[in-house]
Amino acid sequence: MKSYLAAAIQMNSVPDLDKNLAQAEDLIDLAVRQGAELIGLPENFSYLGDEVAKMAQAEAIAQASARFLKTMAQRYQVTLLGGGFPVPTSGGKVYNTALLIGPAGEELARYEKVHLFDVNLPDGNTYQESETVLAGVQLPSVYPSKDLGHLGLSVCYDVRFPELYRHLSQMGAEVLFVPAAFTAYTGKDHWQILLQARAIENTCYVIAPAQTGRHNTRRQSHGHAMIIDPWGIILAEVEDKPGVAIASIEPSRLDQVRRQMPSLHHRVFV
């Protein structure tokens, strides 16, 4: 693993595939011009808004999203995470799929979100992700990149389930991706502290791309895409507008923290 720059992209995706991909391309270009070699896009980067319309065009969204990720990664010679997009299943639902693509345009890792957001919030909004999404059944794998470190995948609501991240750290993860479309209501209280907890307890870097702002008349995301170091320090953050958080991933810092706080070696229940 070498020292390198990573980017967590923040978007305001809407129910318009072409508009979202154009926004994502502009932000990828911005990240690359700042030197990023590892870039993460948020959950629902290619489409966010009306669920009925999304399901009606899920196949087109899936194909365009995968093609876009491969084209961008190859064009810019970066490793690129698409943090979540719908991939149709045979049963009429979709998998919320995160896809990691290498600089040659090759698929490195794929993860189908296992924890689905079925929640009635006090602000009056109800989210029933399971109405359209089929939960994945496999824990995410860790992709062992020689240059970028061991990369662990997750998606949004997963961040509330520390056992998933303990699995990733047991598999050797050094960098954890948490791409999200966190709600404005929950994000103001929980987003940052959950990310810092996952970084601290696993002594890993956390790269958390995010959605921000309003996506339709009802749905609003918290924003605050960030990169956190293994000690829990926020290295870079975007507030409430689309943009890019850039920070250096340093193997020496990872080693230092893990020497200072060797908690991964002190586990009793494995």
List, by residue number, the catalytic residues. Answer: 43, 113, 156
DSSP code for 67: H
Contact of 185 with 121, CB cutoff 8 Å: yes
Q: Residue 164: phi, psi to the nearest 5?
A: -65, -40
Tokens coding 233: 């320090």
DSSP code for 103: T
Strand partners, 222: 212
Give which of 261, 258, 269, 260 is closest to 149, Cα–Cα: 258
Contact of 221 with 184, CB cutoff 8 Å: yes
Tokens coding 33: 């011009």
CA distance 176 to 153: 6
